[in-house]
């Protein structure tokens, strides 16, 4: 289910909403730094997100500029998604933070096969891991 087109679209929307939250977080800074952080924080997170990948991940392009183990990629994803939920909780409203948490849990519940693959299990339809 992790490679289903609807789940991939949902994941993409979570990524966009997550990156946006880091811009909101930057906007909370004092005036001289506000404009830098509102741009640099989302770009920095996006660069790390796009660079640290597991090779042959079918939910992504499959390319891995900097290959990392599956557990590390999963940890990065959880930090980004739940970090953005914490930002929404703190900066916007607690309800929006909880909505983000719920959306992330739903995404990973439907992506159980990808999570198992990232943690090292052999899953049909996913590339073999070395």
pLDDT of residue 103: 97
Answer yes or no: is 34 within a domain: yes
Q: Which residues constitute the domain of residue 81?
A: 5-118
Answer yes or no: is 127 within a domain: no
What is the Cα–Cα distance from 30 to 63, expressed in whole angstroms? 38
Name residue, tokens 């290959």.
67
pLDDT of residue 85: 97
What are the structure tokens assigned to 46, written together?
A: 């996006």
Q: What is the mean pLDDT of each run of 10 residues along the chain (130 residues)?
A: 80 95 91 90 93 78 80 93 96 96 95 85 65
- Give the chain's domain count: 1
Are the beta carbons of 34 and 20 closer than 8 angstroms?
no
CA 122 vs. chain centroid, Å, equals: 23
Residue 130 is given by DSSP the state -
Nearest to residue 101, comparing CAs of 82, 125, 78, 119? 82
What is the Cα–Cα distance from 109 to 26, expressed in whole angstroms? 30
Answer yes or no: is 104 within a domain: yes
Answer yes or no: is 125 within a domain: no
pLDDT of residue 126: 65
Answer yes or no: is 112 within a domain: yes
Sorted by sequence, the CB contacts under 8 Å of residue 120 that are 6+ apart come out as: 70, 71, 129
**pTM: predicted TM-score of the whole model, two decimal places:** 0.85
């Amino acid at each position: 289910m992790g490679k289903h087109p609807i789940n991939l679209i949902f994941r993409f929307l979570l990524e966009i909403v997550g990156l946006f939250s880091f811009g909101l977080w930057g906007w909370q800074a004092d005036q001289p730094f506000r404009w830098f952080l509102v741009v640099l924080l989302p770009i920095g997170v996006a660069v790390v997100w796009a660079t640290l990948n597991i090779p042959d991940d079918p939910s992504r392009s499959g390319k891995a500029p900097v290959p990392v183990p599956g557990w590390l990629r999963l940890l990065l994803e959880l930090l980004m998604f739940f970090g953005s939920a914490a930002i929404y909780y703190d900066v916007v409203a607690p309800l929006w933070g909880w909505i983000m948490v719920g959306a992330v849990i739903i995404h990973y519940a439907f992506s159980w096969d990808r999570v198992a693959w990232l943690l090292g299990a052999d899953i049909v339809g996913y590339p073999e891991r070395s």
